[in-house]
Structure 1
Amino acid sequence: MRAALAVIAVLVLGACTAADDSVPTQPLPQRRDAGVVEQYAISDIRVGTHTGFDRVVFEFTGGSGPLGYLVRVDDDPRDDGSGLPVRVAGRTVVAVVITGVSNEQTRGYGARKVIAGTGGIAEVSYRGVFEGQAGVFVGVDAVDPAVRVEQLAGPTRLVVDVAR
């Protein structure tokens, strides 16, 4: 009986861990077009560290279908709309633009925020939503970072892994 419960627990926990835990190797830029138009709302942004890489998780409410994104190195980070320069800690700035996000529904993350980094991520600078796009700058220690971008469900999350 205990062996059967252990097997069930491993299967259930394994199904919950949908994100890839290998070190990212994909070069930038990475892009995917949105399958939705301004339906998702950002409910949380968090940073974590793993063996060989660090992870930024964007959690969403509402919406359905794939989020769009563009993840690229940005040598001159600027705010959407104003065009003013943005100072971001780290050796390299990785810009993350997420499409399919509603400004009106994004409560708690409607204003600019800086989130402390961990591991190889110096900081995450959330710049808000402008014309259906959430703008984020991730300052990293790596010069030419490899990344992995995945959308996960239950709840909807966009995961950006950055190799150290």
Structure 2
Amino acid sequence: MNRRLAAVLLAVLTVFTFVPIASAQSTPTLSNIRTGQHAGFSRVVLDLSGLPTEHRVSEVTSVSHCASGNPITVAGPGIQEILAVTLIGAAAHDDNGNLTYTGSQNFATPGLQHIRGVALTCDFEATLGVAVGYNNTNSWHRVFTLTSPNRLVIDVGL
């Protein structure tokens, strides 16, 4: 009797092992990039379906595409420095490879006082890169996340 029960249990477990399980999008995705001018600072907002695992920020003078290594010139006049923001655990496409962000990949921001341009620098292996070009090396910056809705905020000011 124990052998028969063991065989039945093994057969049931085998069936459940091969049943596909529906899952939600595993990596938070970018849906929009918004910009705005506020008193004393300019802002870039990345609208996301969820929050990235982490984000890293560095001040650089040039950027390149993460997969190809090709240099990227951030659009916009008078850019003196670039804030390179890397979102670990985020993408601009879904699990099937469909783009979730279909806006411009590199654009000038003429209505902003401190930020001159924004460019996507990476969408590869759950890493999303964004470059924010600004015109004054004495500028301050802050980068943080907010929820309801989920977004990453990049502020640059003097």
Same-fold call, TM > 0.5? yes
- The match for 2:63 among 77, 82, 88 is 77
- Of residues 67-76 and 42-51 in structure 1, the stretch that sits farther from structure 2 once superposed is 67-76
- The match for 2:36 among 40, 48, 55 is 48
* Residues 1:113 and 2:105 are matched in the alignment: yes
CA RMSD of aligned residues (A): 2.3
Tell me the residue number matched to 2:18.
Answer: none
Q: Provide the secondary structure at the position in 1 that maps to 2:68.
A: coil
Tell me the residue number matched to 1:139.
Answer: 133
Question: 1:69–1:96: 8 Å Cα contact kept in structure 2?
Answer: yes
Unaligned runs of at least 5 residues, structure 2: 1-25
Task: Give the TM-score, by structure 2 length.
Answer: 0.70
Tell me the residue number matched to 1:98.
Answer: 87
Deviations 1:15-47 (A, max 9, x none): xxxxxxxxxxxxxxxxxxxxxxx6200011111
Tell me the residue number matched to 1:126.
Answer: 120
User: Following superposition, which runs of at least 4 residues in structure 1 exceed 3 angstroms of deviation?
Assistant: none
Task: Work out the CA distance in 2 between the residues paired with 1:66 and 1:132.
Answer: 9
Question: 2:142–2:155: 8 Å Cα contact kept in structure 1?
Answer: yes
Question: 1:115–1:123: 8 Å Cα contact kept in structure 2?
Answer: yes
Question: 1:110–1:128: 8 Å Cα contact kept in structure 2?
Answer: no
The verdict on how the C-alpha distance between 1:104 and 1:98 changes in structure 2, with shifts beyond 3 A counting, is: same
Task: Work out the CA distance in 1 between the residues paired with 2:41 and 2:103.
Answer: 28
Task: Work out the CA distance in 1 between the residues paired with 2:71 and 2:103.
Answer: 17
Question: 1:45–1:57: 8 Å Cα contact kept in structure 2?
Answer: yes
Task: Give the TM-score, by structure 1 length.
Answer: 0.68
Task: Work out the CA distance in 2 between the residues paired with 1:149 and 1:143.
Answer: 17
Task: Work out the CA distance in 2 between the residues paired with 1:111 and 1:45.
Answer: 8
Task: Work out the CA distance in 2 between the residues paired with 1:110 and 1:129.
Answer: 13
Structure with bigger gyration radius? 2
Tell me the residue number matched to 1:149.
Answer: 143
The verdict on how the C-alpha distance between 1:77 and 1:153 changes in structure 2, with shifts beyond 3 A counting, is: same
Identity in percent = 31
Distance apart, 1:145 and its partner CA: 2.6
Question: 2:31–2:101: 8 Å Cα contact kept in structure 1?
Answer: yes
Q: Provide the secondary structure at the position in 2 that maps to 1:126.
A: strand
